[in-house]
Amino acid sequence: MSVSPRPPRSVPRPVAPPHLLLVEDDTSLREALVRMLERRFEVTALADGASAAERLRAERFDVVLSDIHLHGMNGIDLLRLVRSADLDVPVILMTGLPDVDSAIEAMDLGALTYIKKPFDVGVLDSALARAAKLAALARAKREAIDAGLGGSHASNEHAALTTSFDRALASMKIAFQPIVDGRSRTTIGYEALMRSSEPTMPTPGAVLDAAERLSRIHDVGRCVRERTAAAFESGDDGALVFVNLHAADLLDDDLFDADAPLTKLANRVVLEITERAAISDISDARHRTAELRRRGYKIAIDDLGAGYAGLTSFATFEPEIVKLDMSLVRGIESSSVKRIIVGRIAGLCRDLQMRVVAEGIETTDELACMLDLGCEYLQGFLLGRPEEGRRASAYRW
Ligand code: C2E
Ligand code: MG
Ligand code: MG
């Protein structure tokens, strides 16, 4: 009887150990870590942030383990650099001086974990074990994509998104929409709204969405503030400018910088914080808003009525101004429920000495109702559309 030969068992390719970049400026700790890491990784060990940044631009790593306080470039900036090229690589940060701000920023940028020095070897070891597994998973996914089994290279998508996003920032202009005092019928200020000519990001929402995915919200905020200040500085009509903030902008030092272009105009600026986003994860929001007030800024709650129920944003920010979401304004003349709600909100805000802006007024009926209900300031297409360059409302009633 002839036995057909068994097909040769496929020999699994030897898997190279994952490649780890270690950045630590303390020589003895670095050497001890290398000894420990070499059991599981192929290690590249460097002492400062600048040379790590250079290496990261040239080479792909599976895991990054870095100190936060480094010469040249700190660990958070290094993490930002890693994320601009690769959304997935696990990054472990170590620090001897933990602080809430850097911990929050590290988590925002997708750090795998944040380890406090001196650490127990077991803590680092289990973080590394997890990082190694994630690195192996990412590698297996890349191999599946290379083998044509579906999916696409996230890094390619990431690179394409980065290119579009950079074009959106480079082309960003600011449109100004008038905000009108209902009694004097004069334009008291303008809301600054970003506009980009990048075709894949036609709305502010699309730009913000890309910024969130790329962990580059601060780049948007800085660009908006700089261009708003440049466009506003020239006018000396005493008008206010209302500038939208993303909740994460509250964590950006540039917002508080006395030399930043918008800070110089702060006593004419109202910062809008939207009710749509959760602000509970911004530690210290009260303290931060107090800092902003010290610089001269006023605070508005934006989109009231569209966000979470409850009064957290009132208690946290104690705003001078409240902007009613246009969902409360739309068709108000034929909704008694909306009229009751808006009437109550306007009355309560008056008692609390907060000014009310009604947003999104499109018809004369909506305008008449909002005036009747005691909304002091008005904004909407009826009174003036957002336009590049300031144009006061020409609407008369
Ligand atoms: P928002 O801050 O509530 O701004 C008002 C939005 O309503 C603007 O949309 C404005 O064009 C639109 N609008 C004004 N009047 C009317 C009206 O009568 N009818 C209708 N249908 N719409 C009206 P836009 O410019 O598309 O912005 C959308 C949102 O994107 C903004 O809502 C704000 O949350 C965000 N955004 C815009 N610019 C910026 C920015 O520079 N930074 C940040 N963080 N967010 C921004
Ligand atoms: Mg707004
Ligand atoms: Mg709004």
Reading the block at residue 140, the tokens are 């297996």
The dihedral built from the CA positions of residue 77, 285, 263 and 256, taken in this order, carries a sign that is negative
Q: Is there a cis peptide before residue 118, judged by omega within 30 degrees of 0?
A: yes
pLDDT at 300: 96
Please determine, for residue 219, whether its predicted confidence score (pLDDT) is greater than 90: yes
Ligand 1 neighbour 266 (Cβ under 6 A): no
Distance CA 258, CA 266 (A): 10
Higher pLDDT, 144 or 284: 284
**pLDDT for 354:** 93
CA of 243 from ligand 2 middle (Å) equals 7
Q: Measured in angstroms, how far is the CA atom of residue 307 from the centroid of ligand 3?
A: 11
The mean pLDDT value of the chain amounts to 86
The mean pLDDT of 282-288, rounded to a whole number, is: 80
For 301-347, give the DSSP string: EEEETTS-SSSHHHHHH--SEEEE-HHHHTTGGG-HHHHHHHHHHHH
Mean pLDDT of 15-35: 91
Has residue 153 got a pLDDT over 70?
A: no
Helices (H), 2-99: 27-37, 49-58, 75-85
Angle subtended at Cα 40 by Cα 13 and Cα 90, rounded to the nearest 5 degrees? 95
Q: Is 194's C-beta closer than 6 angstroms to any atom of ligand 1? A: yes
pLDDT of residue 4: 47
| Cβ–ligand 1 contact at 228 (below 6 Å) | no
C-alpha 292/C-alpha 83 separation (Å) is 29
The verdict on the CB of residue 305 being under 6 Å from ligand 1 is: no
Give the pLDDT of residue 255.
Answer: 96
Q: Which domains does the chain have, with CATH numbers?
A: 19-146 (3.40.50.2300), 161-388 (3.20.20.450)
Number of Cβ within a 10 Å radius of residue 38: 13
H or E element at residue 143: helix 121-146
- 363 backbone dihedrals φ, ψ, rounded to 5°: -125, 160
> Residue 268 is encoded by which pair of tokens?
């004419």
In ligand 1, the atom with minimum distance to the C-alpha of 246 is 44
Structure tokens at 73: 């470039």
> Model pTM?
0.68
Residues contacting 82, CB < 8 A, separation 6+: 56, 64, 89, 91
Q: What separation in Å is there between the alpha carbon of 311 and the centre of ligand 3?
A: 17
Say how far apart CA 21 and CA 286 lie, in whole Å: 38
User: Which residue in the block uniquely carries the two structure tokens 């808006």?
Assistant: 342
- Which three-class secondary structure state does DSSP give residue 102? helix
Of residues 228 and 7, more confidently modeled = 228
Q: Whose CA is nearest to atom 21 of ligand 1?
A: 360
Instruction: List the structure tokens of 266.
Output: 């702060």
pLDDT, position 111: 79
Q: Which of 201, 241, 244 to mutate to test the pocket of ligand 1 (most atoms within 8 A of CB)?
A: 244
pLDDT class of 156 with cuts at 50, 70, 90 = low
* Pairwise CA distance, residues 79 & 106, whole Å: 8
Quickly state the pLDDT bin for 340 (edges 50, 70, 90).
very high
Q: Whose CA is nearest to atom 8 of ligand 1?
A: 193
Ligand 1 atom 17 nearest Cα:
360
- 98-146 pLDDT per residue, tens: 787 778 777 766 777 888 888 888 889 888 888 888 878 877 777 777 7
% of the chain beyond a pLDDT of 90:
52
Instruction: Tell me the pLDDT band of 376, cut-offs 50, 70 and 90.
Output: very high
Kindly list the strands in the beta sheet with 63-67, ordered across the sheet, starting from the edge strand earlier in the chain.
Answer: 42-46, 19-23, 63-67, 91-95, 113-116
| Residue 291: per-residue pLDDT | 95
**pLDDT (0 to 100) of residue 261:** 95
Task: Write out pLDDT tens, residues 164-190.
Answer: 899 899 999 999 999 999 999 999 999
Q: How confident is the model at residue 10 (pLDDT cuts 50, 70, 90)?
A: very low
Using the predicted structure, report yes or no on whether residue 28 has a pLDDT greater than 60. yes
Task: Convert 296-311 into a string of H (helix), E (strand) and C (coil).
Answer: CCEEEEEEECCCCCCC
359 Cα–ligand 3 center, Å: 6
- Out of 169, 172, 193, 195, mutate this one to test ligand 1's pocket (max ligand atoms within 8 Å of CB): namely 193
**Packing angle of the helix pair 75-85, 100-108 (nearest 10 deg):** 10
Q: Exposed (0-12), middle (13-18) or buried (19+): which is 192, by Cβ within 10 Å?
A: buried
Ligand 1 in contact with 105 (CB < 6 A)? no
Residue 6 has pLDDT above 80, yes or no: no
Ligand 3: centre distance to CA 66 (Å) = 41
Mean pLDDT of 279-305: 87
- pLDDT of residue 3 exceeding 50, the answer is no
Tokens 């110089």 correspond to 264
Spacing, Cα 108 to ligand 3 middle (Å): 25
Ligand 3 mean position, distance from CA 275 (Å): 9
Is the pLDDT reported for residue 45 higher than 80? yes
Q: What distance in Å separates the CA atoms of residue 103 and residue 113, rounded to the nearest whole number?
A: 9
